[in-house]
């Protein structure tokens, strides 16, 4: 299949609608029946304002996070429409065309 790899980047301390932003985004993907999403926590990252974000002992709330999902074109359109409809949301993302599928038999 052809589709997109969507990656969303944020800090652990970010929130949306009273919930941690990363959890809100994972919940949204689940409610839309997206096949899967992976939350990746990084040690350190450079943000859009050239500021270093890191997961040091005293700065755990500043830890960089990434959520990646591989979606069909229609799923991509649907999730992007939902995100754009959120007036308070500011979220950096990347969107890359990919080919995806399964190898082998299902469990």
Answer yes or no: pTM beyond 0.75: yes
What pLDDT score does 3 carry?
97
> What domains, with CATH codes, occur in the chain?
2-66+73-99 (3.30.70.120)
pLDDT single digits (tens) 1-56:
999 999 999 988 899 999 999 999 999 999 999 999 999 987 666 565 665 556 55
SS (H, E, C) the chain: CEEEEEEEEEECCCEECCEEHHHHHHHHHHHCCCCCCEEEECCEEECCCCCEEECCHHHHHHCEEEEEEEEEHHHHHHHHHHHHCCCCCCCEEEEEEEECCCCCCCC
């Amino acid at each position: 299949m052809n589709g997109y790899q969507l990656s969303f980047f944020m800090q652990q301390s970010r929130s949306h609608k009273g919930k941690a932003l990363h959890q809100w985004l994972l919940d949204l993907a689940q409610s839309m029946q997206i096949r899967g999403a992976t939350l990746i926590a990084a040690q350190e990252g450079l943000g859009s304002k050239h500021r270093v974000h890191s997961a040091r002992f005293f700065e755990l709330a500043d830890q960089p996070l990434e959520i990646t999902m591989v979606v069909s074109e229609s799923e991509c359109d649907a999730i992007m429409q939902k995100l754009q409809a959120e007036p308070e949301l500011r979220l950096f993302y990347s969107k890359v065309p990919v080919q995806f599928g399964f190898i082998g038999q299902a469990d």
